[in-house]
Amino acid sequence: MLQKSVSRRKCAACKIVVHTPCIGQLEKINFRCKPSFRESGSRNVREPTFVRHHWVHRRRQDGKCRHCGKGFQQKFTFHSKEIVAISCSWCKQAYHNKVSCFMIQQIEEPCSLGAHAAVVIPPTWILRARRPQNPLKVSKKKKRTSFKRKSSKKGPEEGRWKPFIIKPTPSPLMKPLLVFVNPKSGGNQGSKIIQSFLWYLNPRQVFDLSQGGPKEALEMYRKVHNLRILACGGDGTVGWILSTLDQLRLKPPPPVAILPLGTGNDLARTLNWGGGYTDEPVSKILSHVEEGNVVQLDRWDLRAEPNPEAGPDDRDEGATDRLPLDVFNNYFSLGFDAHVTLEFHESREANPEKFNSRFRNKMFYAGTAFSDFLMGSSKDLAKHIRVVCDGTDLTPKIQDLKPQCIVFLNIPRYCAGTMPWGHPGDHHDFEPQRHDDGYLEVIGFTMTSLAALQVGGHGERLTQCREVVLTTAKAIPVQVDGEPCKLAASCIHIALRNQATMVQKAKRRSSVPLHSDQQPVPEQLRIQLRRVSMHDYEALHYDKEQLREASVPLGTVVVPGDSDLELCRTHIERLQQGEPNGAGATASSGQKLSPNWCFLDATTANRFYRIDRAQEHLNYVTEIAQDELYVLDPELMGTPARLALEAPQSPDPTSPPPPSPRPRPDQGDAVPPKGEGLIEAAERNDFCKFQELHRAGADLMLRDEQGRTLLHHAVRAGSKEIVRYLLDHAPTEIIDAVEENGETSLHQAAALRQRTICHYIVEAGASLMKTDLQGDTPRQRAEKAQDTELAAYLENRQHYQMIQREDQETAV
């Protein structure tokens, strides 16, 4: 009898999953979470100097045993409580749960903290302080004659009790990391990714910025040598952390890396971190932060004072005398772009319920920009401003240009990745643009040049300077790093404030260290190009083999051996256009990529993941591909389209056809006599005959004319014995095999309300997220069959499967 779904709790640090009513059992079995600190009971605050493993029993485990090198056999019996593995929550090493692989003495062995030991802050560094006792409670004999509050020389921060003390052990090999996550950035991306950091790192080095900001954490870790910071959020989050570092005056200031969430992210693009987070594994992000180059970033002071020459007629009731920020890292602008941003912010504050989707926000931006263009509200900008850069008055030049927008730019990127300064290689009046040279680029935009930005154009280059004095004669919309306001007539001074220390993502060969016997890079690479649909990617990107089988060949591309993905993209686009790509380059006919395709990394992690187009120049082809290069096409329809593409056509001359391990009757092969007997035995529920035919050599992966497997036939007949026999003896591909209508055997069992058979198939590892051609999952088929208990069970297992796909976990 199926029970209804029971609520569960999951520990992000240990990956254990517990039924909520069973939480009290953890103490009885003496299970504790991995320690994130140590108590202050020891006399010597420097001890202990090492961390012990945190061993956890696992019922499911990916990867291979550290001792014997073999994989972990999953136990699929529904009520099985057998432990298949023992793994450490710190270093992630895993062993078979048997004496020959895991020995008792390993329990007390010191832990290396795993692949990211250099960035993990050991719990031995974090000492829990004892709360000081109230002296009035300790000594009742002492009585105060006056109850007036005594003055204290300590400030509010110094006088506050701090629950933890950091006692680091400096090492030149370590780069301890603090992770700050803004959960409001990028929808709910921040709240999701914080769970992954808690698994890979010490939970006490990961901080939610919505819980008080970064100041307290930075103060606590200020004495840690070689500290690095990872800011997970937008450019505003990065600016918040940099301003806090300015206030605390840490010496030396820790370098800041960026994990961009949300949209825009021009500073992250400049430092090679890309325009947004897709699904890159957190483990690889930590490696990038550890190996990144330390660079400097200019930061600029903004000081605005009321313009004394402005008359009363130039006052605006809605204008302010203060700028939203007094420091900028990216840009300061005034005119058209600031007006559009200000309109958006004011409308969102007035009606927040109308701005709850990114698409709707973009539509509002477009509409505001178009109406502002028609009204020409910024066309007279040049008449109301005076710009002096390094003592040179640029006002006459600006009045001749008649720009509708002026930008003072610190970094090459602006407006979600555009490059408004361009590449003035032949223009000897200007130096190359840098983010650490102490110069600002001043750029003017007409409506024409603003429109050309999105297709690679640039604005009118006015000058490069160290100081700016900008005088406005009336209220004008301005914005500072995306924060807009309508500034009253003012005199604005811009000057260099300081330089922040940042981490720039490095271009590297691989995260694996180079060996003396490493093979040299070949002169040319000949790679099979394969396309993956978004439908298949979302369903299968955790299963490499199935996703490889689902991919569609596009042809062969020939690229230089040291080619990065940016260069490879140009070769692929030439291949798609039918242009010669090199010796032997060929393309399959009729299969064109959509404009929004991207590369997939198929080698550096235990799953496929997307590579941001802005980071293609940082990755070599040899780093993400071996013999085959995979690309994701978000506009490809998915399974139906893939089936159509697999119809008979001219074969690709450069590679053998995709493997077809089982003959299909609809491809012209007749069902062998033994196969007909297997199908008949399954339909008649004749287990003895079925077993006899299999032992005589019959193929368990047989399909009939409609593409149904023997498992489909056994489910339709309700034969529990044959279902169990197939799950135990047939290749695992049979579990999720689909017939012509896209149904798996689990879809059919759910539709027929066969609860026990559903148990068997689910526990054998069937995917509960697969949909048939009607878009239904097995749970939805059970709901349509009006079996609410079966649907509740499938929903519970589907939720568990989604959690388990991300990381190893334990059910208690």
Asked whether residue 62 carries a pLDDT value surpassing 60, the answer given is yes
pLDDT of residue 512: 40
Element at 531 (helix H, strand E): strand 524-533
Asked whether residue 121 carries a pLDDT value surpassing 90, the answer given is yes
Confidence of residue 160 (pLDDT cuts 50, 70, 90): low
pLDDT of residue 60: 84
Q: How many CB atoms lie within 10 A of CB 797?
A: 21
Reported residue count of the chain is 812
pLDDT of residue 148: 42
Average pLDDT on 645-651 reads 34
Q: Which residues are 276's β-sheet partners?
A: none
Find tokens 């048997």 and name the residue: 98
Of 9-23, 31-45, 387-401, 656-670, the poorest mean pLDDT is in: 656-670
Peptide bond into 673 cis (omega under 30): no
CA distance 5 to 779: 13
Given phi > 0 = left and psi -120 to 50 = alpha, else beta, which region is 158? alpha
Asked whether residue 519 carries a pLDDT value surpassing 50, the answer given is no
Q: Which two tokens stand for residue 555?
A: 């042809």
Average pLDDT on 454-466 reads 86
CA distance 127 to 146: 37
Of 34 and 579, the structure prediction assigns the larger pLDDT to 34
Asked whether residue 649 carries a pLDDT value surpassing 50, the answer given is no
**Residues 553, 528: contact at Cβ < 8 Å?**
yes
DSSP 334-385: EEHHHHHHHHHHHHHHH-GGG--SHHHHHHHHHHHHHHHHHHTTTTTGGGGE
Confidence of residue 80 (pLDDT cuts 50, 70, 90): low
Contacts of 748 (CB under 8 A, 6+ apart): 712, 715, 716
Environment class of 434 (CB within 10 Å of its CB; exposed 0-12, middle 13-18, buried 19+): middle
Element at 545 (helix H, strand E): helix 544-550
Average pLDDT on 531-552 reads 82
DSSP 684-743: HT-HHHHHHHHHTT--TT-B-TT--BHHHHHHHHT-HHHHHHHHHHS-GGGTT---TTS-
Q: Where are the alpha helices (DSSP H) in 376-513?
A: 395-401, 447-453
Cα–Cα nearest to 529, from 474, 574, 499, 496: 574
Confidence of residue 652 (pLDDT cuts 50, 70, 90): very low
Q: Which two tokens stand for residue 750?
A: 């759910």
Q: What is the pLDDT of residues 6-60, one digit of tens each?
A: 788 888 888 888 888 888 888 777 788 888 888 876 545 445 578 899 999 888 8
pLDDT of residue 764: 85
Of 419 and 297, the structure prediction assigns the larger pLDDT to 297
Residue 463 C-beta-side C-alpha neighbours within 13 Å: 15
pLDDT of residue 5: 64
C-alpha 147: how far from chain center: 56
Q: How many CB atoms lie within 10 A of CB 323?
A: 20
Q: What are the contacts of 680-689 at 24+ separation with CB within 8 A?
A: 681/722, 682/710, 682/713, 682/714, 682/717, 682/719, 682/722, 683/713, 683/716, 683/717, 684/717, 685/717, 685/718, 685/719, 685/721, 685/722, 687/719, 687/721, 687/722, 687/725
| pTM for this entry | 0.68
CA distance 204 to 170: 18
Report CA-CA distances (Å) from 221 to 39, 166, 224, 248: 18, 7, 6, 12
pLDDT of residue 651: 35
**Residues 337, 478: contact at Cβ < 8 Å?**
no
Of 725 and 541, the structure prediction assigns the larger pLDDT to 725
Average pLDDT on 529-539 reads 85
Cα–Cα nearest to 336, from 370, 359, 307: 370
Contacts of 319 (CB under 8 A, 6+ apart): 475, 486, 487, 488
CA distance 564 to 507: 10
pLDDT of residue 297: 96
Element at 633 (helix H, strand E): strand 628-633
Q: What is the pLDDT of residues 263-317, one digit of tens each?
A: 778 999 999 998 888 778 899 999 999 999 999 999 999 999 999 887 766 677 7
How high is the mean pLDDT of the chain? Answer: 80
**Residues 413, 422: contact at Cβ < 8 Å?**
no
pLDDT of residue 771: 82
pLDDT of residue 19: 85
Q: What is the pLDDT of residues 783-812, one digit of tens each?
A: 999 988 888 888 777 766 655 444 444 444
For the chain, give the percent of residues with pLDDT over 70.
Answer: 77
Structural domains in the chain, sorted by start: 164-292 (3.40.50.10330), 301-498 (2.60.200), 524-645 (3.10.20), 677-811 (1.25.40.20)
Q: Which residues are 229's β-sheet partners?
A: 178, 256
